[in-house]
Amino acid sequence: MRLDIVTLFPEMFEPILGASILGRARARGLLDWGCVNPRYFSRDKHRKVDDRPFGGGPGMLMMAEPLAAAVESVRRQGSRVILMSPQGARLDDRKAAELARESHLVLVCGHYEGVDERAVELCGEELSIGDYVLTGGELAAMVVADALARKLPGVLKKEDAAESESFASGLLDFPQYTRPRVWRGREVPEVLFSGDHAKIAAWRRRAARAATRRKRPDLLARQVQESRRSV
Protein backbone atom coordinates (compact mmCIF):
# COMPACT_ATOMS: atom_id res chain seq x y z
CA MET A 1 0.00 0.00 0.00
CA ARG A 2 1.09 3.58 -0.71
CA LEU A 3 0.30 6.37 1.76
CA ASP A 4 0.87 10.03 0.90
CA ILE A 5 0.58 12.53 3.73
CA VAL A 6 -0.07 16.19 2.99
CA THR A 7 1.44 18.13 5.89
CA LEU A 8 3.18 21.38 6.82
CA PHE A 9 5.27 19.36 9.29
CA PRO A 10 6.80 16.40 7.43
CA GLU A 11 9.59 16.14 10.02
CA MET A 12 7.06 14.82 12.56
CA PHE A 13 6.53 11.54 10.68
CA GLU A 14 9.88 9.79 10.35
CA PRO A 15 10.44 9.28 14.11
CA ILE A 16 7.08 7.52 14.43
CA LEU A 17 6.40 5.84 11.09
CA GLY A 18 10.10 4.98 10.66
CA ALA A 19 10.38 3.03 13.93
CA SER A 20 9.43 -0.42 15.17
CA ILE A 21 6.79 -2.45 13.32
CA LEU A 22 5.96 0.39 10.91
CA GLY A 23 9.65 0.89 10.08
CA ARG A 24 9.98 -2.83 9.33
CA ALA A 25 6.82 -2.78 7.20
CA ARG A 26 8.38 -0.05 5.06
CA ALA A 27 11.75 -1.84 4.80
CA ARG A 28 9.92 -4.96 3.61
CA GLY A 29 7.93 -3.00 1.01
CA LEU A 30 4.56 -3.62 2.66
CA LEU A 31 3.82 0.03 3.45
CA ASP A 32 5.38 2.72 1.31
CA TRP A 33 4.79 6.30 2.51
CA GLY A 34 5.89 9.84 1.86
CA CYS A 35 5.03 13.43 2.78
CA VAL A 36 4.22 16.39 0.59
CA ASN A 37 4.35 19.92 1.97
CA PRO A 38 1.70 22.44 0.78
CA ARG A 39 4.22 25.21 1.47
CA TYR A 40 6.11 24.24 -1.69
CA PHE A 41 2.93 24.89 -3.65
CA SER A 42 2.29 28.37 -2.24
CA ARG A 43 2.26 31.07 -4.90
CA ASP A 44 3.12 33.74 -2.34
CA LYS A 45 6.71 35.01 -2.24
CA HIS A 46 6.87 34.32 1.51
CA ARG A 47 5.40 30.82 0.97
CA LYS A 48 2.33 31.79 2.96
CA VAL A 49 -0.23 28.97 3.37
CA ASP A 50 -2.73 30.57 5.79
CA ASP A 51 -4.89 33.69 5.95
CA ARG A 52 -7.60 35.35 8.03
CA PRO A 53 -11.19 34.08 7.70
CA PHE A 54 -13.63 36.17 5.65
CA GLY A 55 -16.35 37.55 7.92
CA GLY A 56 -13.94 37.84 10.82
CA GLY A 57 -13.20 35.57 13.73
CA PRO A 58 -10.15 34.40 15.58
CA GLY A 59 -7.21 32.49 14.13
CA MET A 60 -6.02 31.68 10.67
CA LEU A 61 -7.27 29.26 8.02
CA MET A 62 -5.28 27.10 5.66
CA MET A 63 -5.77 28.47 2.14
CA ALA A 64 -7.37 26.23 -0.46
CA GLU A 65 -4.83 26.50 -3.28
CA PRO A 66 -1.59 25.23 -1.65
CA LEU A 67 -3.49 22.31 -0.10
CA ALA A 68 -5.26 21.45 -3.35
CA ALA A 69 -2.04 21.66 -5.37
CA ALA A 70 -0.25 19.38 -2.87
CA VAL A 71 -3.09 16.83 -3.04
CA GLU A 72 -3.15 16.99 -6.84
CA SER A 73 0.60 16.37 -7.00
CA VAL A 74 0.17 12.92 -5.43
CA ARG A 75 -3.40 11.96 -6.33
CA ARG A 76 -3.88 9.24 -8.97
CA GLN A 77 -6.95 7.70 -10.49
CA GLY A 78 -8.72 5.76 -7.75
CA SER A 79 -6.84 7.37 -4.82
CA ARG A 80 -8.85 7.82 -1.66
CA VAL A 81 -8.29 11.35 -0.27
CA ILE A 82 -9.12 11.86 3.41
CA LEU A 83 -8.95 15.04 5.47
CA MET A 84 -8.02 14.47 9.11
CA SER A 85 -10.60 16.47 11.06
CA PRO A 86 -12.50 16.30 14.36
CA GLN A 87 -15.64 16.73 12.23
CA GLY A 88 -15.10 13.47 10.37
CA ALA A 89 -16.48 9.97 10.80
CA ARG A 90 -14.85 8.27 13.79
CA LEU A 91 -11.97 5.84 13.23
CA ASP A 92 -12.59 2.35 14.59
CA ASP A 93 -11.26 -1.15 13.92
CA ARG A 94 -13.66 -1.74 11.04
CA LYS A 95 -12.63 1.53 9.36
CA ALA A 96 -8.93 0.66 9.79
CA ALA A 97 -9.52 -2.70 8.09
CA GLU A 98 -11.45 -1.00 5.28
CA LEU A 99 -8.64 1.53 4.69
CA ALA A 100 -6.03 -1.25 4.69
CA ARG A 101 -7.73 -2.68 1.58
CA GLU A 102 -7.01 0.48 -0.46
CA SER A 103 -3.95 0.59 -2.69
CA HIS A 104 -3.41 4.37 -2.37
CA LEU A 105 -4.45 6.71 0.41
CA VAL A 106 -3.83 10.43 0.71
CA LEU A 107 -4.15 11.76 4.27
CA VAL A 108 -4.48 15.54 4.47
CA CYS A 109 -3.47 17.20 7.76
CA GLY A 110 -5.20 20.46 8.65
CA HIS A 111 -3.57 23.08 10.85
CA TYR A 112 -4.26 26.50 12.33
CA GLU A 113 -7.94 27.08 13.11
CA GLY A 114 -9.19 25.11 10.14
CA VAL A 115 -9.20 24.72 6.41
CA ASP A 116 -10.96 26.75 3.70
CA GLU A 117 -14.21 24.84 3.07
CA ARG A 118 -13.50 24.58 -0.66
CA ALA A 119 -10.42 22.50 0.09
CA VAL A 120 -12.45 20.36 2.51
CA GLU A 121 -14.83 19.60 -0.38
CA LEU A 122 -11.89 18.56 -2.54
CA CYS A 123 -11.21 15.68 -0.13
CA GLY A 124 -13.62 12.82 -0.56
CA GLU A 125 -14.17 12.37 3.18
CA GLU A 126 -13.19 13.52 6.68
CA LEU A 127 -11.88 11.23 9.39
CA SER A 128 -11.61 11.86 13.15
CA ILE A 129 -9.70 9.87 15.76
CA GLY A 130 -11.94 11.01 18.61
CA ASP A 131 -14.08 13.77 20.04
CA TYR A 132 -11.32 16.18 21.02
CA VAL A 133 -9.42 18.79 19.06
CA LEU A 134 -5.72 18.34 18.30
CA THR A 135 -3.47 21.21 17.24
CA GLY A 136 -3.18 19.61 13.81
CA GLY A 137 -4.02 16.49 11.85
CA GLU A 138 -0.48 15.03 12.02
CA LEU A 139 -0.89 12.89 15.14
CA ALA A 140 -4.26 11.72 13.84
CA ALA A 141 -2.70 10.71 10.49
CA MET A 142 -0.04 8.72 12.35
CA VAL A 143 -2.72 6.94 14.38
CA VAL A 144 -4.51 6.02 11.15
CA ALA A 145 -1.25 4.83 9.55
CA ASP A 146 -0.46 2.65 12.57
CA ALA A 147 -3.96 1.18 12.88
CA LEU A 148 -4.18 0.24 9.22
CA ALA A 149 -0.56 -0.91 8.83
CA ARG A 150 -1.09 -3.71 11.33
CA LYS A 151 -3.98 -4.93 9.17
CA LEU A 152 -1.78 -5.29 6.07
CA PRO A 153 -0.92 -8.90 5.26
CA GLY A 154 2.54 -9.81 6.53
CA VAL A 155 3.05 -6.78 8.80
CA LEU A 156 2.44 -8.64 12.06
CA LYS A 157 4.41 -11.80 12.72
CA LYS A 158 1.46 -14.15 12.81
CA GLU A 159 -0.77 -13.46 9.82
CA ASP A 160 -3.91 -13.75 11.89
CA ALA A 161 -2.68 -11.88 14.98
CA ALA A 162 -4.60 -8.70 14.09
CA GLU A 163 -7.84 -10.66 13.67
CA SER A 164 -7.81 -12.47 16.99
CA GLU A 165 -7.24 -9.30 19.00
CA SER A 166 -9.51 -6.82 20.69
CA PHE A 167 -12.32 -5.29 18.65
CA ALA A 168 -11.98 -7.51 15.55
CA SER A 169 -14.00 -10.13 17.45
CA GLY A 170 -16.22 -7.49 19.06
CA LEU A 171 -14.68 -8.39 22.44
CA LEU A 172 -11.65 -7.15 24.35
CA ASP A 173 -8.55 -9.31 24.68
CA PHE A 174 -8.44 -12.14 27.19
CA PRO A 175 -5.83 -11.68 29.94
CA GLN A 176 -2.36 -13.06 29.17
CA TYR A 177 0.56 -14.03 31.38
CA THR A 178 4.24 -14.87 31.01
CA ARG A 179 7.00 -15.96 33.39
CA PRO A 180 7.32 -16.06 36.34
CA ARG A 181 4.42 -18.30 37.26
CA VAL A 182 4.08 -16.57 40.64
CA TRP A 183 4.82 -12.84 40.78
CA ARG A 184 4.49 -10.84 44.01
CA GLY A 185 2.35 -13.60 45.38
CA ARG A 186 -0.05 -13.57 42.41
CA GLU A 187 -0.47 -16.79 40.49
CA VAL A 188 -1.19 -17.41 36.84
CA PRO A 189 -4.56 -19.21 36.33
CA GLU A 190 -4.02 -22.98 36.62
CA VAL A 191 -5.89 -23.87 33.42
CA LEU A 192 -3.12 -22.29 31.30
CA PHE A 193 -0.76 -25.07 32.39
CA SER A 194 -3.22 -27.86 31.68
CA GLY A 195 -2.00 -28.50 28.12
CA ASP A 196 -5.69 -28.97 27.18
CA HIS A 197 -6.13 -26.60 24.22
CA ALA A 198 -9.91 -26.81 24.11
CA LYS A 199 -10.14 -26.03 27.81
CA ILE A 200 -7.74 -23.10 27.46
CA ALA A 201 -9.69 -21.73 24.48
CA ALA A 202 -12.96 -21.98 26.44
CA TRP A 203 -11.38 -20.20 29.44
CA ARG A 204 -10.08 -17.45 27.16
CA ARG A 205 -13.50 -16.91 25.57
CA ARG A 206 -15.11 -16.63 29.00
CA ALA A 207 -12.36 -14.30 30.27
CA ALA A 208 -12.68 -12.07 27.17
CA ARG A 209 -16.43 -11.77 27.69
CA ALA A 210 -15.98 -11.00 31.39
CA ALA A 211 -13.32 -8.33 30.64
CA THR A 212 -15.58 -6.75 28.03
CA ARG A 213 -18.57 -6.72 30.41
CA ARG A 214 -16.46 -5.07 33.11
CA LYS A 215 -14.46 -2.56 31.06
CA ARG A 216 -16.51 -1.85 27.92
CA PRO A 217 -20.16 -2.91 28.37
CA ASP A 218 -21.05 -0.70 25.39
CA LEU A 219 -19.24 -3.17 23.07
CA LEU A 220 -21.45 -6.05 24.22
CA ALA A 221 -24.58 -3.94 23.82
CA ARG A 222 -23.51 -3.08 20.28
CA GLN A 223 -22.92 -6.76 19.46
CA VAL A 224 -26.42 -7.63 20.65
CA GLN A 225 -27.91 -4.81 18.55
CA GLU A 226 -25.99 -5.90 15.46
CA SER A 227 -26.97 -9.55 15.79
CA ARG A 228 -30.64 -8.48 16.16
CA ARG A 229 -30.33 -6.39 13.00
CA SER A 230 -28.87 -9.30 11.04
CA VAL A 231 -31.80 -11.68 11.77
Contacting residues toward ligand ADE, per CB under 6 A: 84-86, 110, 128-130, 132-134, 137, 140
Q: Which is nearer to ligand ADE, 81 or 171 (by Cβ)? A: 81
Q: Which is nearer to ligand ADE, 82 or 208 (by Cβ)? A: 82
Q: Per DSSP, what are the bridge partners of residue 107? A: 5, 82
Q: What minimum distance in Å lies between the beta carbon of 9 and ligand ADE?
A: 13
- The Cα 82–Cα 75 span in angstroms is 11
Q: What minimum distance in Å lies between the beta carbon of 112 and ligand ADE?
A: 11
Query: What DSSP line would sit under 144-195, residue for residue?
Result: HHHHHHTTSTTTSSSTTHHHHSTTTTSSPPPP---S-SEETTEEPPGGGGS-
Alpha helix locations (H) across the chain?
14-17, 20-27, 64-74, 93-100, 117-122, 138-149, 161-164, 197-215, 217-229
- The Cα 227–Cα 171 span in angstroms is 14
Q: Which is nearer to ligand ADE, 35 or 84 (by Cβ)? A: 84
Q: Which is nearer to ligand ADE, 134 or 149 (by Cβ)? A: 134
| Position closest to ligand ADE via CB | 140
Q: What minimum distance in Å lies between the beta carbon of 92 and ligand ADE?
A: 13
Q: Which is nearer to ligand ADE, 85 or 212 (by Cβ)? A: 85
Q: What minimum distance in Å lies between the beta carbon of 83 and ligand ADE?
A: 8
Q: What minimum distance in Å lies between the beta carbon of 139 and ligand ADE?
A: 8
